[in-house]
Amino acid sequence: MTVIYVDADACPVKDEALRVADRHDFPIVYVSNAWMRLPEGANVQRVVVADGPDAADNWIAERIGKGDIAVTADIPLAARCLKAGAQAIGPTGKPFTDASIGMALAMRDLSQHLRETGESRGFNASFTRQDRSRFLEALELAVQRVKRGQA
């Protein structure tokens, strides 16, 4: 059965992910480094991992498999999920694919280098209603791919 894994620590679309999971009767697992208020539901599982770098990412990557879906903004985690045969979607609705993950990793590394050298202070755009709408559409498309056996 398909499971939706949510990297919950900084995820702005926890409620939206649950709506899609409930509509399709898929289990959803919220994974975080600390207890937090999360949506409730019959299909909801909460996992609080030990504090530490990448603990939540490692927990998800060790369990996700073909036919599952990850919701994460973490590009290295998305790459690990794709390698396991799962789908990965960012909270802004951008799907990570085998074709796009290499460039996403490279841009992440470049941005990190520019921040470390002081060339850039970093900038994160505000999360918008359009991002939320794109996410819902992308997650629904991912679920449909699973149901058609294309994922």
The yes/no answer on whether domain 4-147 falls in CATH 3.40.50 is: yes
One-character DSSP codes across 87-119:
EEE-TTSPEE-TTTHHHHHHHHHHHHHHHHTTS
pLDDT in tens, the chain (151 residues): 899 999 998 899 999 999 999 999 999 999 999 999 898 889 999 999 988 888 999 999 999 999 999 999 898 999 999 999 999 999 999 999 987 766 666 665 666 666 677 776 666 678 899 999 999 999 999 999 999 987 6
One-character DSSP codes across 20-54:
HHHHHT--EEEEESS-------TTEEEEEPPSSTT
The predicted pLDDT at position 127 comes to 84
The predicted pLDDT at position 120 comes to 66
Residue 83 to residue 98: CA distance in whole angstroms:
8
State phi, psi for 109 to the nearest 5 degrees.
-65, -40
Q: pTM of the full predicted structure?
A: 0.86
Q: Where are the domains of the chain?
A: 4-147
The predicted pLDDT at position 149 comes to 87
Query: Cβ of 51: how many Cβ atoms within 10 Å?
Result: 9
